Amino acid sequence: MTDTLERLLIIDFGSQVTQLIARRLRELNVYCEIHPYQTVTMDMVQQMAPKAIIFSGGPDSVTREGSPRAPQEIFDYGVPILGICYGQQVMMQQLGGQVDGGKISGGGGTAEFGRAFVAPEGTLDLLNGWFEDGDEQVWMSHGDHVSRLAPGFEVYGTSPNAPYAITADTARNFYAVQFHPEVHHTPRGARLYENFVKLAGFRGDWTMGAYREKMIAAIREQVGDKKVICALSGGVDSSVAAILIHEAIGDQLTCVFVDHGLLRKNEAEEVVGMFRENYNLSLIHANEEELFLGELEGQSDPETKRKIIGKLF
């Protein structure tokens, strides 16, 4: 079966709100993946084949030697790119613009932290639905600032401390904003993401339900008629994995729950009861409380205890 899934790549430069970018995109029925900048290579990009790319924000300074960058070749890949905050500065720096270190506000400063208002400078498809009621409220969180645009870019929005708050090279479908449209402090930020995925040509037909069915089919194909053992802790990760595998292959799955005696009161019984009674999973309950607590007796160092627990598992 041909893979028709449309993908968007988010390159994570360390922002605390990168997950919110993904959430906004998934609300628009766009499939996206977050990858740390350290893992992004052109081979990886070509294998993923994204229809668009977003550069997240980040805490670093592009003026610092060795600070995070995107692969230079990514700008020749031929898909729309949106840079956010640090992502904007990365684009400018790598494409021939200039970024200067920030100054504290009050002394001719350029740093902004908190609510700000962006004024329009021209029209741009990325900004459809913006500026209908005047200046647009956004959330800024930057020290450094773009002081010279890269060749091909023009300014489409300014704020008191960010003369290049919104910039774009429309010929190459490169867009960059100094603020964070993903946070709720930017009230119409979701509209900006909606406009971006439209510019990139996404159908917007991805859903979590469709993804679930795809994963179930993939598990069935991989497992075939074999048996699967799944370590089940009762946490979110292992629980989702166990239920998904069970929906795919049913009784071919056996889960093992190791009761190490370190859970909350009655939690082990709750986990076992939930998966046996509610999900009808074949579940082995290994009561190893005595073993674990015996090995941990007299230990006070957290790292030592962590290693003991890991070894026993």
In the set 6, 136, 142, 180, the catalytic residue is 180
Calpha distance 165→131 (Å, rounded): 14
- CB distance 292 to 275 below 8 Å: no
Q: Any catalytic annotation for residue 85?
A: yes
Identify the helix (H) or strand (E) that includes residue 307: helix 302-312
H helices present in 203-284, as ranges: 208-223, 236-249, 267-273
32 labelled catalytic? no
- Stretch (H or E) spanning 86: helix 86-94
The token pair at 143 is: 């020290």
Q: Which of 32, 85, 230, 255 is catalytic?
A: 85
Residues 6+ apart with CB under 8 A from 155: 121, 122, 149, 163, 164, 166, 167
The token duo for 199 is 């510019």
180 is catalytic: yes
Q: With contact defined as beta carbons under 8 Å apart, do 67 and 26 qualify?
A: no
Residue 176 identity: A
Q: For residue 17, give the amino acid letter.
A: V
Pair 75, 81: CB distance under 8 Å: yes
Cα atoms in the 13 Å half-sphere on the side-chain side of 96: 6
Catalytic residue (choose from 6, 112, 182, 194): 182
Distance from C-alpha of 264 to C-alpha of 266, rounded to nearest angstrom: 6
Active site residues: 85, 180, 182
